[in-house]
Amino acid sequence: MTHPDQSIDQPTLLEIFANGELSGHSRHYEKYAGDMAGVYLDSADWERQVAHGGADRLVYSVNEQKYQEGPGALTIGTSTVHPGIYGDEYAVTRGHLHAVSDRAELYYCLSGNGVMLLDTVDGQTNAIELAPGKAVNVPGQWVHRSVNVGTEPFVTLFCYAADAGQDYGLIAAAGGMKTMIVRDGDGWTTIPNPRHIGYARSSAA
């Protein structure tokens, strides 16, 4: 009789729901209004909203599952960004470039309406609108953040290499991303971010 190799990771059954719930997740984290200092251009409006709604108002949450940290493994998860507007700017995640910067990431929209805002360190920028059933395959070397441009939670399913890591400080050090997603009548548009000073080149691989 053969015996299973206990050194081999075992398959994991997950249930993924349109509201962002993920059964079998190995990690859950949340970001609150008070955690978003310096993210929005209109800091005075952000301060007013924090004072009125509380620093503990949920802005976005993440559920993720991975079976190991090493190369070859995948991190699977859901991101839920709640609706909000600060000045004219829509609610965003902090965003990141992968610490191993050539690592790609897939985002598939489960519910809501949003935009994936993307930059490269050398100055390219893009904004891709997502709705249920649409996905964006983000190549390595692209800084990215999720933006909720709707009135309901914007929920995406994501997948990336487990050894990728995240560099969250790159965006903050640059004064934010190169463009911002703002209201434009009943829709959205991009405008230059006047605080953006350019990205420092990452030392990550």
* 25 three-class SS: coil
Residue 204 pLDDT class (50, 70, 90 cuts): very low
Residue 3 has pLDDT above 70, yes or no: no
CB 83 within 8 A of CB 153: yes
What pLDDT is attached to residue 72? 87
Averaged over 152-173, what is the pLDDT? 96
Q: What is the 3-state secondary structure (H, E, C) of 56-89?
A: CCEEEEEEEECCCCCCCCEEEEEEEECCCEECCE
**C-alpha angle 94-115-135 in degrees, rounded to nearest 5:** 110
Q: What is the pLDDT of residues 65-90, one digit of tens each?
A: 998 887 889 999 999 999 999 999 99
Residue 137 pLDDT class (50, 70, 90 cuts): very high
> pTM to 2 decimals?
0.93
* Amino acid making up residue 3: H
CB 52 within 8 A of CB 30: no
Cα 49 to its chain centre, rounded Å, is 22
In the block, residue with structure tokens 């993920």? 22
Residue 205 has pLDDT above 50, yes or no: no
Name the average pLDDT for the chain: 93
CA dihedral 36, 37, 42, 45 (to 10 degrees): 80
Residue 202 has pLDDT above 80, yes or no: no
Q: Among the listed ranges 105-114, 145-154, 192-201, which one has the minimum average pLDDT value?
A: 192-201
- Domains of the chain plus CATH, in order, are 15-192 (2.60.120.10)
Residue 6 has pLDDT above 70, yes or no: no
Residue 10 pLDDT class (50, 70, 90 cuts): confident
What pLDDT is attached to residue 1? 54
- Phi and psi at 49, nearest 5°, equal -70, -35
